[in-house]
Amino acid sequence: MVVCSEQPVDIAFFRVKGAWRKESTVVRPDPQLKDRLLQFIRNNHTEMYRQWFTDLEPLGVDGGVLTILVKQDVHRRYLENKAVDTFQEAAQAVTGRLLGLKFVEEGELESPLLPATSMGQEAVVLSPDLTFDQFVVGSNNQLANAASIAVCDRPGRSYNPLFLYANVGLGKTHLLQSIGHRLNTTSSHTRWMLTTCEEFSSNFQEALIHQTVSEFRARYRDLDVLLVDDIQELAGREKIQEEFFHTFNALHQAGKQIVLTANAAPSDIPQLEERLISRFSSGLVTRIEPPEFETRVAIVHQKAKLHGFQLSENVAAFLAARVDGNIRELEGALTRIHSLHVLQQLPITLDLAKIAIGIDDGDAPRSSTPSIQDIMDAISHYYDLKLTDLLSRRRHKSVAMPRQLGMWLARRYTRYSLEEIGSYFGGRDHTTVMHAVKAVTKRREEDETVASEVQIIEQMLLGEQESEHAA
C-alpha cells in the first residue's frame, strides 16, 4: 500500500548513535510495515526468524535509511551482527527500494515515541519506471491514459469513479502508479492512497480481530484520492464487499476521487453485489485493449531503453510480432536478451532475440514447413522492406501487396487460423486475411509477373524441387 499524506508537521531533532538528524516530532511505529517485513522473513528466512522479532517496531524511512526500534541492547547486537542482510532484503521487497538499516533503542530517540498509528506511516516509494512519461500511448489505451491524467488535474470532478479494466499485463497498475507520481508532484496537499483489494481485505480482517475497525475506516475514508488495484478480488467476499461499499459511499459522497482496476468490467465480475456493480459503473468505465503492432514496437523500444540498451528496428519488430500476449511477456523477453548480451557478451541480433524467446534453430536443418517468421523474413528480403513496414498500417501498394502475399503464403504453408495469421501480421482481423488470400490467388492467375514473384519466394522458403511440386 502506498500512502501519501502531505500535512504540515512540526520539525524537531532526535539523536541516533550520537548523530543529530532532522525528523518529525511525531515518532510512531508503523504496524503495516512491521507486518509485511515479518511476513517476508517468516516465509523466506525461517531459520533466521525469532519470536522476539514481533517486539521490533519499524519507525519509517528517512534519507534512504529504515529505522527499527528494538527493546533490548542484546537484541540490537544480534540484529546488527546476524540479520542486517535479511532485513535489508525484506525491506527492499516490501518498499521497492534498497534501504540502509538502523537498529535503535527508545532511549536514543530525542522525540517521544507515540502510539502506533497507520495514518502517520512513511510513504512506500513508487516505482520510478511507472510514470505517465514512460507509458506508451496507442489507440488501445488512449482513453484510459487521458482519463487517468484528468483525475489528477481535477480529483473528484472528472470521471469519478474511474474504472479501468484489462487482461493481465496491459498497463492497469502502470496507470495507477502514474497517478500517484502525478499527485506527488502537482497536488502537494492531496491525501491519497494506492492499495490492492487484497490488502484492503487483509487490513479489514486484522481490524476486526484487534477491534480497531474505527481506525481502519479513518485510514481509508480520510482521503482525497483512493486508488485500488485488482478490485475483482472482492468477488464472493460478502463482509469485505459490504465494508468496501460503505468506504466507497463515504468517499464518493464527499466528492473524493476513486480509481479502480480489474480484469473485467463491473458487470462481468462474478459474485459481485449489484449495488457495487452500480457504483463502479456510475463513472467512466474503460477497457485497455491489447496493443496493436506499432504500439508494441514502441513499447519494446521504451522498455529496452529502461534496461540501458538499444534495439535495431528488425529485432524490435520481431519481438513485437512474436510476443503479443501482454507487456510483461515483452519485458521478460527483453530481460533475457539483456542477460545473454551482458553475461555471454553476445551481440543483440535477430538470432539472439530468437534464442531469448525459445527459438534456437542454430545449425539444425530447416524444417520443410516454413514458419510465419520464415515467410516474413523472405518477403522482407525479396521486396527490401523493413519488418516494421510489413506489419504497419501503411496501405501503399509497395507495402500492401507484399503483406498480402505473406498472408497468402502463411495460409498455404502453415496450420494457423485466419485469426492467428492476422495477429502475426500487425493485429489484423480474419476478414483482412481472407481478402488477401483471394486477392493474391486472383493476381497470381492473371499476372505472370506476380506468379513469377510468388514462385521465387516459394523457392526461397522450400527449395526449388518442393516449390515446383507445390506449383
**How far apart, in Å, are the Cα atoms of 83 and each of 41, 49, 79, 175, 235?**
10, 9, 5, 36, 40
Give 254's contacts (C-beta < 8 A, 6+ positions apart): none
- Supply the pLDDT for residue 325: 62
- Asked if 35 and 71 sit in the same domain, the reply is yes
Task: Quote the CA–CA distance of 129 and 181 in Å, as a whole number.
Answer: 10
Task: Quote the CA–CA distance of 77 and 83 in Å, as a whole number.
Answer: 10
Task: Quote the CA–CA distance of 330 and 297 in Å, as a whole number.
Answer: 10
- Asked if 279 and 335 sit in the same domain, the reply is no
CA angle 14, 88, 111 (to 5 degrees): 15
Determine the 3-state secondary structure of 443 from DSSP.
helix
- Asked if 64 and 156 sit in the same domain, the reply is no
| CATH number of the structural domain spanning residue 386 | 1.10.1750.10
Domain boundary among 246, 269, 287: 287
| CATH number of the structural domain spanning residue 58 | 3.30.300.180
Domain boundary among 287, 308, 338: 287
Closest to 459 measured CA to CA, from 364, 392, 370: 370
- Asked if 24 and 161 sit in the same domain, the reply is no
- Asked if 31 and 96 sit in the same domain, the reply is yes
How would residue 363 be classed by pLDDT, with cut points 50, 70 and 90?
very low
- Asked if 397 and 269 sit in the same domain, the reply is no
For range 47-72, the mean pLDDT: 82
- Asked if 258 and 311 sit in the same domain, the reply is no
For range 343-357, the mean pLDDT: 80
**Above 70 in pLDDT, residue 264?**
yes
Instruction: Tell me if 2 is assigned to some domain.
Output: no
Domain boundary among 322, 356, 390: 356
- Asked if 304 and 406 sit in the same domain, the reply is no
Cell of 27: 515518532
Instruction: Tell me if 256 is assigned to some domain.
Output: yes
How would residue 347 be classed by pLDDT, with cut points 50, 70 and 90?
confident
Between 328 and 218, residue with greater pLDDT:
218
How would residue 367 be classed by pLDDT, with cut points 50, 70 and 90?
very low
Instruction: Tell me if 135 is assigned to some domain.
Output: no
Place of cell 519499524: 58
Count: domains in the chain: 4
Closest to 330 measured CA to CA, from 105, 171, 150: 171
Contact indicator for 237, 269 with CB cutoff of 8 Å: no
- Asked if 158 and 209 sit in the same domain, the reply is yes
- Supply the pLDDT for residue 312: 86
Residue type, 266: P
- Asked if 217 and 301 sit in the same domain, the reply is no
Between 396 and 276, residue with greater pLDDT:
276
Residue type, 59: L
Give 431's contacts (C-beta < 8 A, 6+ positions apart): none
Q: What is the pLDDT of residues 126-175, one digit of tens each?
A: 677 788 998 999 888 999 999 999 999 899 988 999 999 998 888 898 99
Instruction: Choose the weakest-confidence range: 86-90, 329-333, 362-366, 408-412.
Output: 362-366
Strand-strand pairing, 2-4 and 192-196: antiparallel
| CATH number of the structural domain spanning residue 321 | 1.10.8
Instruction: Tell me if 10 is assigned to some domain.
Output: no
How far does Cα 78 stand from its chain's mean position? 38
Instruction: Tell me if 126 is assigned to some domain.
Output: no
Cell of 359: 527459438
- Asked if 280 and 153 sit in the same domain, the reply is yes
Cell of 468: 515446383
Instruction: Tell me if 39 is assigned to some domain.
Output: yes
Instruction: Tell me if 131 is assigned to some domain.
Output: no
- Asked if 426 and 312 sit in the same domain, the reply is no
Instruction: Tell me if 338 is assigned to some domain.
Output: yes
Query: Which ranges of 189-324 would DSSP assign to H, the alpha helix?
Result: 197-210, 213-221, 238-253, 274-280, 293-307, 313-322
Per-chain mean pLDDT for the chain: 80
* DSSP H/E element including 19: strand 19-24
Owning domain of residue 339: 293-356
